[in-house]
Structure 1
């Protein structure tokens, strides 16, 4: 502001009437006071703490804002109280909520929190439920671990709850094992580090070509390429068998898993056939197919038109193929028995059962348990008598030619064979390394 401008202001002020001079002076003084004197004592910002008031090593409580899945942002206190309850025999969800201090209304809200809440109806003794409570003693969250990779989380959102499944990523690794049979296939599998379930799966893969009760010999061998699963670096279980090789009596059988979940030879021929070689697993033959066998009870020469599998009473007996039960009954010679018709040409018979699990007229699938090994009828001990008939004539179940396996379609073969070559190369490389280290 220049001196000339200030002089003009002074002249204008002097020319004002006396009353106006007083009014302007009062207003000027009031404005000056408002600029100099604050209306209230100065304070620090809500989010700013003077540095000199912070104590080193001291923990301060803060208000945290967090976003819950599927809802608007809600501001809650971070200091939740957690308690864990282990399910006991006889517990119901209502009893559990009552024991941990929650109301029937909260239980209802939790069970109505969504489709995934159904898993709470499947809790078993030993399972753990974790409950989170806020400062007002209200239930905020319930956590139930379903398995190694999935956890049910039910979270409060305003006046209701929402259920969701949290899934952890699974790391899949490939492992290899090899074994030589000394005493039995089962023992060789256990010694190689395979689980009971894996051993049974290998037997199922090759069960159409190998009779595991009769065909195995000492020094037979097998190799397996399979998956293992890890979560957060921790082992959580086994996955699929990717490929396997079984050498039985110098004959080599190979199986590769296809995308459709079935196993095929490297040339694309299905491992699965119309019939299993054996209707029982891991037993031994007490009497083979023999048209001129001396009967152990009567002492007379009488054809033995089947195979006797010696096994403990109660051992599961499986249908060797898909079909229809044409007779399931009892008589003094056969004891409890089941006859199954497979299409027009084939019939299988299962005698001396301790129990029958099917009835006449039932439809059965290959591998379905139809009864249990027993000692009913004219027998000297517990065993299964198994017969195989083709067009009404008895055939040796061990050597009869079975219907050929179905191959992959021509359109699928190129990509499958490329995959099979890669998988078998991995299996063979691992086998060479394994044998070199022995």
Structure 2
């Protein structure tokens, strides 16, 4: 090829290359995206992204233009409010921080220490402490343990809260380095006068216990206050009501003691019977609302929960088989049933007397004596000792000539045997003078409190609640 021909071919190739470069490039559908963008594709993507961001920021601004011009427009007001200054409590890592744990079934003290992250050497010191060591054997589910665990990770103190096996007072131990010492826990004691009221229900004993009364208070109701006015075996129905005023002692928020009954009322078949405690001549007694003593000189049956098996008079002796005078009355009861002094007196004899077996004789003054026979054993008595009515002097047995366990009870006046069931002796003198005035003041306050509580509990009419007003005065007001 000549040089002229070669130049002609080169110029033709350059011309065709120029023409192809000026033509638009068509996207080829036959070649898919292979994972890398060209510079042109990156440029297009940047433009599209910028446009999208501009649209997103501009379009919301036209929302007000799209709403109806007649639609009400919300009014926005910006106000400056003064905010209170926030005081940030500074918590020191050494501040007290008590944490309480209640023992679960199967949980041990070592398990509690491990759970709280308390070092084992602290546990060893606790277990060797003379005050804690015997108590650890009494720990049971439900026992509460409190630990003072400051934020610095130390253990400052341990406290065993009051409860079964612990007692009424918490036990607190203070950790001080390698020392462990007991620390006195302040005790808060309060006494409150409260009114406990309820219905007799199926069992007076169960209902009274549910209200928080103990056996001592229940015995006061049945054996001292209403013994002669209410037959607790047959007079009461489930809907009858009773109210009791007592003093309760609370220690650190827990009830620890209930005192004697200060006042009580029974509403039996719509009729109210009341009794009030008052100290006369240094001795507590129970009185009616008008100041008459509820106490009797002698208890007709000096043994609770017994039945009369033999009365006073002639009979065939159950052991000897001969007809002879029965100079007392017999009460059958279970062996070991307590026997009470029928009245205030002095112990005249304690010992054994032939067919009577084990005997106690009390001298009540004025020529009156009582005899209690066939006892299984005596209470702690000595001749010459003074006893009050209701004091336990012995226990039911069958010593001497007896076919079974029972109490033989005699009443004598100047040595003459009398029927204990028919003795009528004058009651103690009623209150008078300053004692009666003081008693009336106390009685009125107690009745007002009972009235108030019963009104709330039972929603009663006022005339159905105990009143200190004599019956004749109340009836005269109703007639007028």
TM-score where L is the length of structure 2:
0.55
2:184 maps to 1:163: yes
> CA separation in 1, counterparts of 2:308 and 2:267?
21
- Return 197-206 or 385-394, whichever deviates more: 197-206
Q: State the secondary structure of the residue aligned to 2:91.
A: coil
The structure whose residues are more often helix, as a share, is 2
Q: Pick closer, same or farther for the CA change 1:61–1:420 going to 2, 3 Å.
A: closer
Matches within 5 A, 1:45-56: none
| Map of 1:57 onto structure 2 | none
Pairing partner for 2:334 from 280, 292, 312:
312
Q: CA deviation at 1:312?
A: 0.5
2:409 maps to 1:386: yes
Pairing partner for 2:235 from 219, 226, 238:
219
> CA separation in 2, counterparts of 1:133 and 1:432?
49
2:359 maps to 1:337: yes
Q: State the secondary structure of the residue aligned to 1:125.
A: coil
Q: Pick closer, same or farther for the CA change 1:336–1:137 going to 2, 3 Å.
A: farther
Pairing partner for 1:420 from 443, 450, 457:
443
Q: CA deviation at 1:284?
A: 1.6
| Map of 1:258 onto structure 2 | 278
Contact 1:351 1:384 in 2 (8 A): yes
| Map of 2:147 onto structure 1 | 132
2:344 maps to 1:322: yes
| Map of 1:244 onto structure 2 | 264
Q: State the secondary structure of the residue aligned to 1:375.
A: coil
5+ residue gaps, structure 2, are 1-88, 105-119, 465-480
Q: Pick closer, same or farther for the CA change 1:361–1:126 going to 2, 3 Å.
A: farther
| Map of 2:304 onto structure 1 | 281
Pairing partner for 2:91 from 62, 84, 90:
62
User: Over aligned residues, Cα RMSD in angstroms?
Assistant: 5.0
2:323 maps to 1:301: yes
> CA separation in 2, counterparts of 1:379 and 1:124?
49
Contact 1:225 1:241 in 2 (8 A): no
> CA separation in 2, counterparts of 1:279 and 1:153?
45
Offset from partner CA, 1:237-281 (integer Å, 9 cap, x none): 866534335699x99864113378542221223334443333211
2:348 maps to 1:348: no
Q: CA deviation at 1:379?
A: 1.7
Q: Which has the larger radius of gyration?
A: 2
| Map of 1:152 onto structure 2 | 170
Contact 1:243 1:427 in 2 (8 A): no
Q: CA deviation at 1:350?
A: 0.8
> CA separation in 2, counterparts of 1:410 and 1:149?
46
Q: CA deviation at 1:358?
A: 3.8
Q: State the secondary structure of the residue aligned to 2:205.
A: helix
Q: CA deviation at 1:306?
A: 1.7
Q: State the secondary structure of the residue aligned to 1:266.
A: coil
| Map of 1:206 onto structure 2 | 225
| Map of 1:10 onto structure 2 | none
TM-score where L is the length of structure 1:
0.59
Q: State the secondary structure of the residue aligned to 1:411.
A: helix
Q: CA deviation at 1:386?
A: 1.0
> CA separation in 2, counterparts of 1:133 and 1:426?
44
Q: Pick closer, same or farther for the CA change 1:136–1:175 going to 2, 3 Å.
A: closer
| Map of 2:205 onto structure 1 | 190
Q: Pick closer, same or farther for the CA change 1:188–1:362 going to 2, 3 Å.
A: farther
Q: State the secondary structure of the residue aligned to 2:374.
A: strand
